Amino acid sequence: MAKKTSRYIVILCLLSLFLVPAKAQIGMPELGDSLTAYTGFSPVWAPPVRVKQLRVSGKNITVRTNKTLRDVRWTPANVAELKRRVSLWVLGNTKGNVTIIAGNTNIETLITDCARQTAKRSNSPKDGQTNRADLTDRQIVIYPSHGLYFNHDRNEWIWQRATLWTTVEDLYSQEYVRLIKRMLENAGATVLMPRAGLDQAQLGASGMPQWTEGARYWLLSQGADSTLWNLYEGDEYKEDMKCRAMWVNALESSPDLCLAFHTDGLDSGDDSTIVGTLVIYTAHDDDRKATLRNGQDRERVNRNLADWIQTQVTEDIRHIAPQWTRRQLKEANYCETRVPVVPSIILELLSHKNMADMKYGLDPQFRFAASRAVYKGILRYLNGPEATVQPMPVTQLAIGTDGLLQWKAPMDSIEPSAQPTYYMVYTRADNGEWDVQQVTNTQVHMDIQRGIRYSYYVVAGNEGGLSFPSPVVSAYLSEQSSIVNRPIVNIIDGFNDVYGPEWFADSTYAGIVPGSYACEDGFSCAYIGAQWNYRRTDPWTNDDNCGWGACYRDHAGQLTIGNTHDYAALHGHVLRKMDISYVSCTAGMEMIDPSFAIVDYICGRNRVPMTAENALLISEYLTRGGRLLLSTDHFSALDPKWAKRYLHTQYYAAQATRSGRINGTRHRLYHLLLEPNEEQLFTCHPEALKPLDDAVKMATYEDMRVPAAIGYNHQTLVFGFPLEAVMDFDKIYRHSIEFLLKK
């Protein structure tokens, strides 16, 4: 018995020489820690790497771990680097022949075509890619996350996610999806959605607009087969989740891909730490089948799609937020990616629960950049990395009295391919239909007939598709303009700013500054009510008791109007009724000529009302006897010395009214909009002004009895709020023009 025992000990000792050499530098727990550190994954959103087996035979090293390493974005370079490190950690040198198995998968097989092509910038398309520039004939499905659903246990309609930071994922995701949809369609794609994209404003079963409800109810309203949405015998939450994928599989033709757009509910625990972007795909369907409808390998195709989009999103966002986090490229089992028989992923763009993420997420400029990145990721997945990207919108548009319409070609500093090669010029006479012509230059002469009001905008184009439209400029020449001394007004639409709300933070409280709202780009459906819980220590208990960041829901289902970029036409409509000639331009293309009777400078809700260069042009114009109409709710941001000298006005106080009632001269009463609404621009920052020199008070905030507008010698008229935020805009604008023309 002793001899047998001794023999076993000798054999085990010999085996140990092959399995774990004496000069090994690291053990399994320590190797796991090192691999965890290498991933860069936060323990908040990813489990640590656990080494299950470490085998060493001479120079051959095999490491088997849990699945965490599957979620890394592997490239040829970082696989080689990790192998080098493992060899150094285990053998003490870099000469080892290393194999790393995560779960049951060799990490080398997880290198995507995206990783290979972006490294080589190859023109060789993969996974059905073509070298086409646009997306014509492509069919793409997008799910805009959740929506209202009926909870039978509670006998009421409720949101599927928590209401935090003035929004809820059920609606917030729509903000991105409508932009992505428009970009894809501008590239020629057909975009399908299993929810009502916002022009479908009819009421749904909940009594709210149909676009607030989940996909289950849209499918029901469209007469879809009940087998697509009646799935769980009354559990309408689960039905809403699964019906989206069931609907995709029932489409007559197979889409090229399916994107489920979501935001995450993860909290970093630190209001300065970004949670970032996670992408999820699934390797097998319900029957454990590993292929898609077309026979392609499900994991390889889905992981490749996920990588294209996550890579593009994180790279683009880092131009805005350098600290943006790239989370896992995660294989997981979700019905939205498990059920579809076409390439499918879930994009969790950011955390709607995390304050650091939502500081960016409530900014419309961030939403546009992120949406454009998703469009670019889809484009490159389908067409390859060298595909041409559609242009950005043109800038600095102007129409002159001679009929010359001119603009500047757009620039995209992060996308060299997005240069325009042609332009679509849209023209409308009075309130008629839009006509369009295509040109290759950045200017064109338009035929302006007297007595007709014209509006214009421009869309840039290239092989990749069309840009979003420019702001609208407008012109009108009175039939009486030839008479000497007939006035011509120059409208400068300088309102080009969009932004998120203001934030604050201290050791106890943090969140959105009370009374501060985003200035949306066009409109938004995401805002549902003001934040009411500011206490950091209040925890999330459930979606009805959200804790820190919780907000009211009184605005849910309503749109919020922001910067509509058509204010030249709005002002021009009133001048046309007064039979006063005018031309217009956007900021940066100012045509300030001394012959203009009035310069109407629209600042809107710009945080910086005008640049120093524009202020200099205005100064020269006023010095030569010109007259200026200026309205802004950020007068305090102007150079005070310049304002004193040329506007004879001084900033006095912010938040100058709570009622919004404004008393003008001759007992005129105006109503200023101070909160989000569906009708027109509002202001949350009305300012009081102080007259200097011989300037006079032209209007007063009724409740505070402080000046709202200052006039000087019929030469300047300055408002401490945007005129566009006045309910009686036509009236106050007409009175303003009449005041300046009295000189």
Top CATH class of 139-387+516-561 equals alpha beta
- Using pLDDT thresholds of 50, 70 and 90, give the confidence band for residue 22: very low
DSSP per residue, 490-529: EEEE-----B---EEE-SSBEEEPTT---B-BSEES----
Rg, C-alpha atoms of the chain:
31
Q: How far, in Å, are 120, 604, 629, 726 from residue 682 at the CA level?
A: 50, 9, 19, 8
Instruction: Return d(Cα 596, Cα 576) in angstroms, integer.
Output: 16
Spatial separation of the C-alpha atoms in residues 188 and 296, rounded to whole Å: 25
**Listed residue (685, 664, 687, 661) closest to 675, CA to CA:** 685
Predicted confidence at residue 589, as pLDDT, reads: 74
**Pair of tokens at residue 423:** 């332009």
pLDDT at 680: 96
The C-alpha atoms of residue 188 and residue 463 are separated, in whole angstroms, by: 10
Q: How far apart are CA 225 and CA 701, in angstroms?
A: 58
Distance in angstroms (rounded) separating the CA atoms of residues 706 and 690: 8
pLDDT at 216: 95
pTM score over 0.75: yes
Strand partners, 408: 395
Residue 10's pLDDT is 42
Q: What pLDDT, in 10s, does the model give residues 626-652?
A: 999 999 999 999 999 999 999 999 999
Q: Which pLDDT value is given to residue 234? A: 85
Q: Of 641, 633, 640, nearest to 662 (Cα)?
A: 633
Helix, strand, coil content of the chain in percent (nearest 5): 30, 25, 45
Residue 318 above 80 pLDDT?
yes
Rounded CA separation 367/177 (Å)? 10
482: helix, coil or strand? coil
Dump strand ranges (E) for 58-161: 60-65, 97-102, 105-106, 139-144, 149-151, 156-158
Domains of the chain, by residue range, sit at 17-111, 139-387+516-561
**pLDDT at residue 120 above 90?**
no
DSSP-assigned letter for residue 220: H
Q: What is the mean pLDDT of residues 464-479?
A: 96
pLDDT > 70 in the chain, percent: 94
Please report the pLDDT score of residue 45 as a whole number: 87
pLDDT band at 19 (very low <50, low <70, confident <90, very high): very low
pLDDT category, 119, cuts 50, 70, 90? low
- State the DSSP H helix or E strand holding residue 56, giving kind and residue range, or none if neither: strand 51-57
Mean pLDDT (whole number) for 466-487: 85
Across 454-469, average pLDDT: 97
The pLDDT of residue 9 is above 50: no
- Mean of all residue pLDDT scores within the chain: 92
Helices (H), 222-323: 226-229, 236-250, 298-317
CA angle at 516 for the pair 721 and 614, rounded to the nearest 5°: 45
Residue 3 has pLDDT above 60, yes or no: no
Q: How far apart are CA 196 and CA 204, in angstroms?
A: 10
Q: Which residues contact 33 (CB under 8 A, 6 or more apart)?
A: 48, 49
Mean pLDDT of 185-189: 97
**What does the pLDDT average to over 564-571?**
96
**Can you tell me which residue has the tokens 């965890």?**
36
Stated length of the chain: 743
Task: Look at residue 23 and tell me whether its pLDDT is greater than 90.
Answer: no
DSSP string, 573-601: HHHHHTT-EEEEEETTS----TT-SEEEE
What average pLDDT score do residues 495-524 get? 96
Residue appearing with tokens 């996670």: 278
Task: Report the pLDDT value the prediction gives residue 485, as an integer from 0 to 100.
Answer: 64
- Whether residue 578 is predicted with pLDDT greater than 90 in this model: the reply is yes
Q: What is the pLDDT of residues 129-176, one digit of tens each?
A: 555 678 999 999 999 999 999 999 999 999 999 999 999 999 999 999
Cα 370 to chain centroid distance, Å, stands at 5
